[in-house]
Amino acid sequence: MTLASEFVSTIRGVVGHSDEAIGLHVPEIGELEKKYILECLDSTFVSSVGAFIPKLEARMQEITGAKHAVAVSNGTVGLQVAMFLAGVEPGDEVVIPTLSFIATANAVSHCGAVPYFVDSEESTLGMSPAALRIALSSFEKVSGGLRNPVTGRRIAAIVPMHTLGHPVNIHAICEVAAEFGVPVVEDAAESLGSFVGGRHTGTFGLTGMISFNGNKIVTTGGGGVILTDDDELGRRAKHLTTTAKLAHKWEFEHDEVAWNYRMPNLNAALGMAQLDKYPRYLQQKRVLASRYAEAFAGVSGLSFVPEPAGTSSNYWLCAVRLDSPSLEVRDSLMSAAHEAGLLVRPMWNLLHQQRMYTGAGRGDVSVATDLHASLICIPSTPALAADLG
Ligand SMILES: Cc1ncc(COP(=O)(O)O)c(C=O)c1O
């Protein structure tokens, strides 16, 4: 048997056989979603005011333990505001992993700043604390912080990302960041339900963001939340994402230039139904992951990607890794799976190679380059472990 056919048959052994293609991560939309959405429609509050929005924020505070959770229209704008609140200004530089979705870099650009790319760590797939230390050590200490001597820009924030839901080595990253006096903003877009030592991802930095995009473990259609424990930043997150309007029964007075980034109530209604079911989703995803881990244990040349030691991952996207990185072999496995109706996908193209970002600064990115050439994400819909539900 070729590696490609073994790859396909191992996935099939876990997810079963079907005539229809099996998606990577398909949302489960059922009666509860319809009920809450109808309730929202009947209320006529379909836009940026309505009862479901504060309910969703309260539920997210409960789940994450964050003091403040502010609902926004998508994760990308949430990350932009999270960086803005942490002090990122036009002309600054922000350290991010090169192995991430484009939104991490774009959110930096939307702040008027530019990214500086660092490498990943094999064990977490996320930002390497060692690579971060090398990058920060190469910058100069100036009054008020750190400056990249090559570009002359201030280093305003560090944005680690929890890749595929697997927690990054956040304690080590926060330690390095604190040593150099740079705030951490967590891109926890993919990691709702992922914990480090019992603490939810997205709550370690000064601010953080979780996405509710349609492909995430919980969806609002489009949406996200900004997380923070800081009361003033929590207040500003809400104020700035709701046009900075001063509370008044009829006057339209706004005290700064701000955004209309509020999550609509209609989306929050969908999200509340999903959040009611989220404990089951999380359980199903972890069971699915353990089935894949067991099935791939017997395949040589490939290994299942486990949660990092000391963490609990939501396994947003389960993934396997080629023992020897090779884009050619990776793509042969991808093609075989697609032909067999399994909609697997590779990692994102590395950010430093995306045309908008080729001019940005970076350190050595060899681990990320290998990860890009060796990882394949495999079907991860919770319902694939439906026998549990
Ligand atoms: C790592 C990462 N950052 C940011 C985002 C942006 O979130 P959204 O799609 O909700 O804008 C996503 C996902 O979509 C993501 O995977």
DSSP designation for 100: S
Decide: 261 in ligand 1 pocket, CB within 6 A. Answer: no
Residue 79 alpha carbon to ligand 1 centre in Å: 9
8 Å CB contact between 43 and 71: no
CA distances from 134 to 120, 131, 170, 172 (A): 13, 5, 17, 13
pLDDT above 90 coverage of the chain, percent: 97
At 126-146, the pLDDT tens digits run 999 999 999 999 999 998 899
The number of beta carbons lying within 10 Å of the beta carbon of residue 30 is 11
- Residue 77 Cα: closest atom of ligand 1: 11
Query: What pLDDT is stored for residue 388 in this prediction?
Result: 53
Cα–ligand 1 centroid distance for 140 (angstroms): 32
- For residue 355, give the DSSP letter: G
DSSP state of 229: S
**pLDDT, position 1:** 85
Q: What is the pLDDT of residue 236?
A: 98
Q: How far is the CA of 268 from the centre of ligand 1 (A)?
A: 17
Give the distance (Å) from ligand 1 centre to CA of residue 70.
16
pLDDT band, very low/low/confident/very high, at 363 (cuts 50, 70, 90): very high
Q: Measured from the CB, is residue 161 less than 6 Å from ligand 1?
A: yes
Beta bridge partners of 97: 118
| pLDDT for the residue 150 | 97
Contact 342, 11 (CB under 8 A): yes
First-last CA distance in the chain = 34
Asked if the model's pLDDT at residue 366 lies above 60, the reply is yes
185 in helix, strand or coil?
strand
Please provide the DSSP assignment of 48-69 as one string. S-STHHHHHHHHHHHHH--SEE
Q: Is 121 left (phi over 0), alpha (psi -120 to 50) or beta?
A: beta
- Of all protein residues, whose CA lies closest to atom 13 belonging to ligand 1? 189
Q: Is the CB of residue 163 below 6 angstroms from any atom belonging to ligand 1?
A: no
pTM: 0.98
Ligand 1 atom closest to residue 212's alpha carbon, by position in its atom list:
10
Q: Which of 357, 363, 355, 354 is nearest to 118 (CA)?
A: 363
Q: Is the CB of 211 under 6 A from ligand 1?
A: yes
Of ligand 1's listed atoms, the one at least distance from the Cα of 76 is 11
| Strand-strand pairing, 155-158 and 93-97 | parallel
